Amino acid sequence: MTVLVTGGAGFIGSHVVDRLVADGLQVRVLDDLSTGTLKNLAAVRDVIEFVQGDIADPVTVAAAVADCRGVVHLAAVASVEASVREPLRTNRTNLVGTLTVLEAAAAAGAGKVVYASSAAVYGEAARLPITETSPLHPLSPYAADKLAGEHYLAHYQRQGRLDGTAFRFFNVYGPRQDPGSPYSGVISVFLERVGNGQKVTVHGDGSQTRDFVYVGDVVEGIKRALDGQVATAGSTVGDLRVLNLGHGSSTSLLGLLDTVMTVYGRHGEVEVEHAPRRHGAIAHSLADVSALRRELGWAPSPSLAEGPELAGASRGAGR
């Protein structure tokens, strides 16, 4: 069985590729390398097929999905800020690219499609934790594109042309998340800057909360969906299976920073400044993951402080 992973040279995608290869599947990667890098695929480069190309180009995508029996669609400009600044450019990747992949996958008879949606589709939730049936109120072009992608996948599902699962990712963290990237998550940025004794910028007052989920858990969910272990879901868009993919706990940005400071033993040594809250960013986020546990039969990683990313940083700190 060959599986196409779009965005497979990126942070999450490369971890998905590693897992699929380890499980004995044939893997093809489509990535334009605008944010991903072949370094992320170094360990598997000799056993995968790699296609460099534009996710919104129908000819490129049709060639990439040919003979595949599954698609993991991760390619995106994963930035709320970028979508606010350049909505047309990000729409081309995040929505036109998604529709291009879905049409090509359906035409090729690819069967299963796992789609990376986002918790951003909920907007500023009135009640926490957020369930899959919580009101949807996208506050940015990025969120609107992700939600529209769910509806397009639901369309192909209703036609019987694709078997889809959409995961609404919360804040994913883990190895290979580039702290120098404008799209990077706050954990990797805090780890790098505190580890190097550099000034840390907190956008907003730091009281905003996030649900941080380890990339290994995201990979596990994706693999189980590909394996057909998702029977139903906590919610549907049309007839599409939709699941929150988070940890089920929340951490404030100041709480996260305190944890990172503790890991490196740098309390009082690192300057902290505050900047305006990013446009389109929500104040609080917390996933209800009961449907995830029920449908996939597994639990997320330990708490953030005990998780592999911060634990690894602690071992490397030597302090």
**Length of the chain, please?**
319
183-225 per-position pLDDT tens digit: 568 888 998 999 999 999 999 999 999 999 999 999 999 999 9
Integer Cα distance of 22 and 244 in angstroms: 25
What is the model's pLDDT at position 317?
47
CATH assignment at residue 133: 3.40.50.720
Please report, rounded to a whole number, the percentage of residues in the chain having pLDDT higher than 70.
Answer: 89
Same domain as 77, residue 221 = yes
Check: CB of residue 93 under 8 Å from CB of residue 156: no
Integer Cα distance of 99 and 162 in angstroms: 13
- Is the entire prediction scored with pTM above 0.85? yes
Tokens coding 65: 């999905």
Integer Cα distance of 115 and 82 in angstroms: 21
Check: CB of residue 73 under 8 Å from CB of residue 37: no
Cross-strand partners of 235:
242
Same domain as 28, residue 138 = yes
Domain that holds residue 306: 174-211+248-288+301-314
- C-alpha closest to that of 107 among 146, 72, 148, 67: 67
| Residue of 115, 122, 142, 173 marked active site | 142
Q: Known catalytic residue: 142?
A: yes
101-150 per-position pLDDT tens digit: 999 999 999 999 999 999 999 999 999 999 999 999 999 999 999 999 99
Tally of domains within the chain: 2
pLDDT at 316 over 70: no
What is the model's pLDDT at position 233?
46
CATH assignment at residue 256: 3.90.25.10
Same domain as 55, residue 96 = yes
Confidence of residue 314 (pLDDT cuts 50, 70, 90): very low
Q: What is the mean pLDDT of the chain?
A: 90
